[in-house]
Amino acid sequence: MQRIDKTLINEINQTQLADLESDFRYLGEKLSRSDIDIETITAAAEKFQIAVPSWGTGTGGTRFARFAGIGEPRNIFDKLEDCAVINDLSQCTDSVSPHFPWDKVDDFTELKQRSDALGLKWIAVNSNTFQDQVGQEHTYKYGSLSNTAEATREQAIEHNLDCIKWGQTLGAKSITVWVGDGSNHPGQQHFQRSFERYLESMRKIYAELPADWEMHIEHKMFEPAFYSTVIQDWGSNILAAMELGPKCKSLVDLGHHAPNVNIEMIVSRLIQFKKLGGFHFNDSKYGDDDLDSGSLHPYQQFLIFNELVDAEARQQEGFNPAYMLDQSHNVTDPIESLINSAAEVQRSYIKALLIDRDALYGHQQDNDALMASNELKKAFNLDVSPILAMARYRAGGAIEPLVTYRQSGYRQQVATSRPSAGGNSSGIV
Ligand code: PSV
Ligand code: MN
């Protein structure tokens, strides 16, 4: 099943192919002077995949307002269709990450059949104990897995176990746990006791993990709690992950750190101790802005991939991070932002593959700071767009995905079949 007509993709591709082939040839020659085979790099680009967050397909918002777009997905089935469009065009987003209970359905087998038909897989499932749900007995106003009340903690544990069960039917292999638990006032919460309660709850979830599953913990510095959060930073995160066991790893959401924090070094530490579970890619200027990946700090994203490619090259044991986007699209068509962002992450990966590692290690050994830095810059400054476009083309995607998407009229089509729910509510997602 294909939401964007294959014929249309082919037709538009044909008008762009000659230019692409010429750019690709030129880049290939340039790279060959550095002994890099463009075909090897293009094959790696074709293999690269990053998951789309189901919730990213709807227009996001802030706590002030949300300005809905047209043809927004109304449920997980609509979201899946949009994800299929993203993958049809980009060919690097073959999986979706669901969030429960937002994406809860009565029949998960039916949902799996639908995703199979669209050629999409499921990756990490996300639990939600940061909001109260309809019909829920105990409130999460004062926390979930770390709540002072045992009954509330049990309810949150139960929800996570349900998520695992639903995820199993979908074929997912990990659960990502992010909690909003924390405090707004100094003294409100006993730091150690709340962390102990959190760990006790997480142990119960960990104990029920299927044999081939991992559990990923996501840290975040602030919001919704503004004074302290229980899993505030990568320190608390790795401590919890180490405490829980080898199947528990840390997940790095790029927007969840203080400004100027050296995220690539955190990534290196997590890799070293076999604790890097995965990523939520996005970009930010001030905090958890959830801006499009690579839109502000493409160099930082490249430096993170430098660490990842380095680990890959060294065949670091236990290294298999899950890549995912986690963004909020307030002023763009979410499909366009997700296509663009997936390609920007893929771009960072490809550029990192071009780094001459032996030369870099040599400069490091010689303490030649400038040449080491220039070695990275040399790869970063190369425009690898022809490689990305060729990888898409060869995999059956669009050479210029945004041009093809706009010409397809998909958004206008779904606007007629998906009537607006009305109103512009506030909300962070
Ligand atoms: C929290 O800000 C977060 O990054 C977590 O990953 C959530 O699951 C997601 O955003 C959606 O609210
Ligand atoms: Mn996240």
Length of the chain as a residue count = 429
Atom of ligand 1 nearest to the CA of 428: 12
Whole-angstrom distance, CA of residue 50 vs CA of residue 124? 12
pLDDT band at 189 (very low <50, low <70, confident <90, very high): very high
Whole-angstrom distance, CA of residue 322 vs CA of residue 53? 12
Dihedral pair phi/psi, residue 173, rounded to 5°: -130, 5
Range 242-258 average pLDDT: 98
Average pLDDT, whole number, for the chain? 96
pLDDT band at 420 (very low <50, low <70, confident <90, very high): confident
407's CB contacts (< 8 A; 6+ apart) are 8, 12
Atom of ligand 1 nearest to the CA of 55: 11
pTM of the entire predicted model: 0.97
**Residue 429 confidence (pLDDT):** 54
**Residue 424 confidence (pLDDT):** 59
Pocket test for ligand 1, best of 133, 230, 253 (most atoms within 8 A of CB): 253
**Residue 425 confidence (pLDDT):** 61
Atom of ligand 1 nearest to the CA of 288: 2
**Residue 421 confidence (pLDDT):** 67
**Cβ of 281 below 6 Å from ligand 1:** no
Residue-wise pLDDT for 24-61, tens only, equals 999 999 999 999 999 999 999 999 999 999 999 999 99
**Residue 3 confidence (pLDDT):** 85
Q: Indicate whether 270 pLDDT > 80.
A: yes
Range 308-326 average pLDDT: 97
**Cβ of 290 below 6 Å from ligand 1:** no
Instruction: Quote the ligand 2 centre to 285 CA distance (angstroms).
Output: 16
Whole-angstrom distance, CA of residue 114 vs CA of residue 376? 43
- Protein residue whose Cα sits closest to atom 1 of ligand 1: 178
Residue-wise pLDDT for 405-417, tens only, equals 999 999 999 999 9
Atom of ligand 1 nearest to the CA of 99: 8
**Residue 53 confidence (pLDDT):** 98
**Cβ of 253 below 6 Å from ligand 1:** yes
pLDDT band at 212 (very low <50, low <70, confident <90, very high): very high
Q: Check residue 74 and give left, alpha or beta (phi > 0: left; psi -120 to 50: alpha).
A: alpha
Residue-wise pLDDT for 4-28, tens only, equals 999 999 999 999 999 999 999 999 9
